[in-house]
Amino acid sequence: MSRQASPDPIQNASPNEVRALLDTTRPGELTLLDVRLKPEYEEFHLPGARLLPLPELPDHFDDLDRDRPVVVYCRSGGRSAAAAKLLAGAGFPRVVNMLGGAMAWQGAAAVGAPDAGMTLLRGDEAPGVILRTALAMEAALGGFYQALAKEAPDAEARAVFERLAGVEERHLHYVHTLYRKATGDDTELARLLDGGATALEGGLPGERFLEQLGGAPESAREALELAASVEAQALDLYLRLAKKAAAPESAALYATLGQEEKAHLRAVSNLMKQLA
């Protein structure tokens, strides 16, 4: 009797295929590994990626969930191919290797060290603290967009920033609803925001995002590129916090917030496609 060959646990995927996988997977349902070195990760990385340099990978197999798919990438594909073989050899049943690496990635990316943005949130806070901080960051981002709308050099860019500010206003009320359900506190939104954080979503100041863009946006497309950077940073922060959270309810809350930012990122991407 012939023995049927076992399926290959390694799947090679293009960046577009990886993006589709990430878009259709809820936070926490897969592991995204960046096997480059720390300086490369800090320059830019896929939102939610865990930094685990290739030389250190064999020492951390037990830290990874074998029941979840593992998506691995590097700079151009060489190190990730080696990492995929190591993971498959260690018994991981589904490993996705992103061909072309980070250099081929065309989507929004996050920046900073693995603890970037964790000055306001660490991952061990109660749901009420998490949501009040999220409210403050949402409000700060809405104000940031409103200020940029006033300074926009043309009507099209101004309209984009006004639209983005409106989106953040609606999301602010959504997060406030989550806060009331989680805490039973009916305090008015304005009072909750009094003296709140000035950092934008993602835990970074607005100036940092403008530096990434090379200055204030001068067109509608640059306005959307800025928005994509902010949403990617927010998604990255919430996904990292979800992995770090010890309490299941806090991890689930961070995952919910991350799912919202993922939806915002898709919406911004669709708007950019309409301008193309």
Residues serving a catalytic function are: 74
- Rounded Cα distance between 185 and 96, Å, is 44
Cβ–Cβ under 8 Å, residues 124 and 246: yes
Query: What stretch of H or E contains 147?
Result: helix 127-151
Please answer whether residues 258 and 235 qualify as being in contact, where contact means their C-beta atoms are separated by less than 8 angstroms. yes
Q: Work out whether the CA dihedral 122, 59, 103, 22 comes out positive or negative.
A: negative
Q: Are 231 and 23 in contact (CB under 8 A)?
A: no
- End-to-end distance of the chain based on CA atoms, in angstroms? 58
In angstroms, rounded to a whole number, what is the distance separating the alpha carbons of residues 155 and 75?
39
* CA neighbor of 131 nearest in space, from 263, 260, 261, 250: 250
Residues 6+ apart with CB under 8 A from 106: 15, 16
**127-151 and 248-275 are packed helices; what angle lies between their axes, rounded to 10 degrees?**
20
DSSP sequence for 239-273: HHHHHH-SSHHHHHHHHHHHHHHHHHHHHHHHHHH
- Give the CA count within 13 Å in the CB-facing half-sphere of 274: 9
Structure tokens, 86? 């190591």
